[in-house]
Structure 1
Amino acid sequence: MTSLAAPARVIASADEALSAATELAGRFAAGATARDRDRRLPFAEIDELSASGLLAATVPARFGGADLPPSILAEVVRRLAAADPSIAQIPHSHFVYLNVLRFGGTEEQQARYFAGVLAGGRIANAQSERGGRTVADVATTLAPGADGALRLDGEKFYCTGSLFADTLAVLARSTDAPGADGGEQVIAFVPADAPGVTVVDDWNGMGQRTTGSGTVRFDCVLVAPDAVVPRSPALSEPTGYGAFAQLLHVAIDAGIARGALDAAAEFVRTKSRPWFEAGVDRADADPLVIQRFGELTVTVRAAEAALQAAGHAVDTVFDGPGTESAQEASLAVATAKVLADRAATEVSSALFEVSGTRSAGEDLDLHRFWRDARTHTLHDPVRFKVWHLGRNTLQGAAPPLHGVL
C-alpha cells in the first residue's frame, strides 16, 4: 500500500523521467541481489518509485500528467529492469490499466483515478485465473448486489504487484451485460483493502521472486457501478492497447539482457581468472572471451534497437490511432519481443560461460538474471508472435486485436 511521506513528484518531461529512472536504477541495483536471495519484498523501493512520479508519467496532460509517449516509458522500464527485473515488472499492469481508463473510462472516472495516481497511488492487476481451458477464460463475476451496488466474486492468481497496490483492476464478466461466454468483460477498480478482498503472498516462482504475484480472492465484494469500466473499447478498435502492454514486456526482457551482460563484464574484469591456454594475465584479455562478449553485445544491442523501433511504432498509434499504424505497431513489438526474449535467456545463461566456475557461487546469486529471464519470458509465448509475423509476410494476414500482440 502507498505510504508516502510527502506528495509524489509530478514528472514534467521525458528528460525528467529518464533521469529519475537512471537515479532509481542505481539505488535499486545495490540491493537487488539481497532482495532476490532472501525474497525481501521491495516495499520501500516501490514507495520510492511512487514518490518519483514515474508511475504517473503516462497520465494525460489535461488531467495534470506529462502524457509521455510509450517509447519513453519503455526506456524507463528497461533501465529499471537492468537493475532489478522484479521492480520493473511490478508496475506493468499499473500502466496497462491506466490505458483501459484512457480508452474506456468516463470523464469522471478518468479524473478520479488519474488524480489518485498523480498523488502516488498504485494499481495492480487481478486478471489471470486457474482452472479454465485457456488463460483467456474468465470465471470471476460481477453481478447485481444490494442497495444498487455490484457484487464481485472470484479468485485470481499471478496478480503481479497486488501486495503493493492501493487499487486492484479486476477482470470480470458482468452478468448484467450480455456478451459472449456469459457476459461482457469489464474491469472493476476495487480498493485493495475493501471488505471481502484477500491478498495472499503465495507467489513461489523460481524467478521474479519479489513481484508480489500471488493470489487474490474476492468474496462478496461490493463494487460501486461507477468503479466499472468496459474492456471492449481498448480491444475492439485499433488503439495500440495490446502493443503497449507487450512493449513493456519487451523492455523488461531487454533490461534483463543488459543487466546480465553488465554483470558478466564486471565479474570477468574483477574476479575471473584466465584459462591457462590463453597465454594472458587477465581474463578480460582472453581473445576467445572477448569474441564471445562481442557476440553477446550484438545480441543485446539488437534487442535494444528493436525495442526502440517498436516504441516509436506504438507512439505513432497513440498520436493518431488507425488500423494501419496499429497493425505495424503490433508487428514491430512482436519482432522486438522475439529478439528480447532470446537475448534475455541467452545472455543470462552465457554469463556463466564467460565468467567461469567462480560465478556459480550461490552467495553471488548471479543466476537471478537467468531465473528472472526464464520466468518472465514465459508470460506470452513468442512462438505465436513468430507465427503472426510469418502469416503477415506470406499471407498479408493482419495481427489480431486480442490485447497480447
Structure 2
Amino acid sequence: MSSAQVGSSQGVGEHEVLDRVAELAVGFAADAAGYDERAEIPVVGLNALHDAGVDRAVLPRRVGGLGLSYQSFGAVVRILAKADPSIATIWVMHAGAGVALAELTGDSAGSFFAEEFLAGKRFANALSEPGSGNRFLQPQQVAEPVAGGWSLTGAKRFVSGSEIADYLLVNALVSGAPTFFAVIPDESVSIIPIWDTLGLRATRSQLLAFDNTVLRAEYRGRAPGPGDFAVIPAGLPAISLGIADAALAALVAHARSRMILGKPLAEQQWVQHEVADVQVRLAAAHALYDQGLREADSASPAFFSTLSRAKYLANKVAVDVAQLGVRVGGASGYLRQSPIQRHLRDAEAGQLMAYSTEVLAGEIGREVLGAGSPPPSP
C-alpha cells in the first residue's frame, strides 16, 4: 500500500489517535519526574494508552489492527518521548514484541497473539544477550530439543517492562539458525535484581535469566522479513528526538526566566549561538527521520538505512542538547528537582540502545566509503 493510500484510508483514525496521545502526554509529563525518582513502571499511563486505542492503532490491518502509518507512528513516539521517555520506551518495546508475534507466528498462533495484544495484555522484547552486543537478531545462545519444543538456558538483558509482561518475544539458535518464539513467563524465567540505572529509570529494563525454559513449538515464528511493520527500528530514533525536544524546551524556559545582571540569560550572545547550533542540528535530525518514515510508508528499500542514520544523529544531538541545558542551567540545572538533569540522564541511554552510535558509525562509514564487506544482519 502506498503512502497516499495509507493517508486516504486511515487518515481520520490516525488523527484521532494522535489527538488522544497528545492529551494523555500532558499528564505523562507532569508525572515523569516522580516515576523516574521511584524507578517505577508507569503502569497507569501504559494502560491509558491501550484504552485510548493506541495499541489497536499500531497493529497492522492484516492482523486485525488499524494499521498506523510509519509517519503517524513516529509522531506518536515523539510525543510520548517528549513527555516521558520511559513510557515511550516501554510502549515501543511492547508494541515491537506484540506486533512481531502477531506477524511472525501468523501461520500458527498469530491470531491468538493479536487478540491478546488488543485485549491489553503486556508484551516485552527479550532479544538482546549479554554476549551478543548489539546484534540482537543474531543470538548466540543455543536452544536444545526437548519434548514439545526446545529448551533455553541463558539470559536476556534490558527487557523493558518485563516485570509486567504476560508474553516475551525471545530468540535463540535452533539447528544453528536464529529462531523466534513467544514465551509465557513462568518459574523458569527470573529477574536478576541489578536494576539501578542512570537514565530511563522507569523502564525497569531488567536482566532476565532463563533456566531450561521451554520454547514451545506452537509458539515458534518465522524470521522477520520485508513487509513486516518495523516497530523498533522506526521507534528508537523518535525516543531520542523526543528527549531532545524536551531538553531544548527546558533550556529555553530557563534561559528566558533566569535573570543575570538585570537581563534574561537568553540575551547573552554565547547562549544564542549555542542554542542556534543545537536547534538547527535537531531540526535536521527530525527531517532525516521524517524522510525515513516516508520511505517506509512507500516501501522503499532505503528506509532501514535512512532510519539508522536518523537514530545515529538523533542520539548524538539529544546528548548535545541535554549537555547544553546543563551548561545554561548552571548549578540550578544540576539539582535533582530540575528537569534538565533528568533529560541529560535519559539522553545518554539512546546511544546505548541497539544499534549503539559506535556500531552505527561503523556501518554508515563502511557504506559511504565502500570499505570491506558489510557486517552480519542485526
TM-score bin, normalised by smaller chain: 0.7 to 0.9
The answer for unaligned runs of 5 or more in structure 2 is 1-10
SS at match of 1:198: strand
Q: Counterpart in 1 of 2:205?
A: 213
CA distance 1:240–1:70, shift in 2 (3 Å): same
Report the residue type matching 1:224 in the other structure: R
TM-score (norm 1): 0.81
1:74 & 1:109 partners in 2: Cα distance?
Answer: 28
Q: Letter of the aligned partner of 2:363 in structure 1?
A: H
Give yes or no for contact 2:46–2:87 (8 Å, CA) kept in 1: yes
Aligned to 2:338: 364
1:118-157 residue pairs with structure 2 within 5 A? 118-131=118-131, 138-146=139-147, 148-157=148-157
1:185 aligns with 2:167: no
Q: Is residue 74–residue 247 contact of structure 1 (8 Å, CA) maintained in 2?
A: yes
Distance in 2 between residues matched to 1:102 and 1:120, nearest whole Å = 14
8 Å CA contact 1:104, 1:230 repeated in 2:
yes
Residues 236 and 311 in structure 2, CA contact (< 8 A), matched pair in contact too = yes
* 4+ runs deviating over 6 angstroms: 396-401
Residue 293 of structure 1: aligned partner: 275
Of stretches 101-110 and 306-315 in structure 1, the one that deviates more from structure 2 is: 101-110
Shift of 1:101: 3.6
In structure 2, the partner of 1:3 is none
Deviation at 1:33, TM superposition (A): 1.3
Moved more, 383-392 or 365-374: 383-392
> Matched residue of 1:202: which SS?
coil
More divergent stretch after superposition (290-299 vs 15-24): 290-299
Aligned residues: 366
* CA distance 1:12–1:216, change in 2 (3 Å): farther
Give the corresponding residue for 1:349: 323
Relative to structure 1, the CA distance from residue 17 to residue 170 in structure 2 (aligned partners, 3 Å threshold; closer, same or farther) is same
Q: Contact (CA 8 Å) 1:151, 1:223: kept in 2 or not?
A: yes
Q: In the alignment, does 2:116 pair up with 1:116?
A: yes
1:338 maps to which residue?
312
Report if the CA contact (8 A) 2:150-2:215 is conserved.
yes
Give the conservation status (yes or no) of the 8 Å contact 1:139–1:154: no
Aligned twin of 1:31: 31
Per-residue Cα deviation, 1:169-214 (whole angstroms, up to 9, x for no partner): 111222xxx3xxxx3222221123x242223453222111111211
| 8 Å Cα contact 1:202/1:215 also seen in 2 | yes
Which amino acid is the alignment partner of residue 220 of structure 1? Answer: N
RMSD of aligned residue pairs (Cα, Å): 2.7
Counterpart for residue 234 of structure 2: 247
Q: Who is 2:3 aligned against?
A: none
Checking the alignment, whether the CA contact within 8 Å between 2:135 and 2:377 is kept in structure 1 is no
Q: Compared with structure 1, are the counterparts of its residues 330 and 159 closer, same or farther at alpha carbon in structure 2 (3 Å cutoff)? A: same
Structure 1: which 5+ residue stretches go unaligned?
1-10, 318-324
Q: 1:99 to 1:382 in 2, by over 3 A?
A: same
CA distance in 1, matches of 2:341, 2:173: 40
Tell me the residue number matched to 1:311: 293
Which residue identity does 1:138 align to in structure 2? P
Report what 1:105 is aligned to: 105
Q: Give how far 1:98 is off.
A: 4.1
Q: Which residue is equivalent to 1:6?
A: none
Give the CA deviation at 1:369. 0.9
**Residue 198 (str. 1) matches residue 190 (str. 2):** yes
Question: 1:254/1:352 Cα in 2 relative to 1: closer, same or farther (>3 Å)?
Answer: same
Name the CA shift for 1:247/1:293 in 2 (closer, same or farther; >3 Å).
same
3-state SS in 2 of match to 1:372: helix
Using structure 2 for the length normalisation, give the TM-score. 0.86
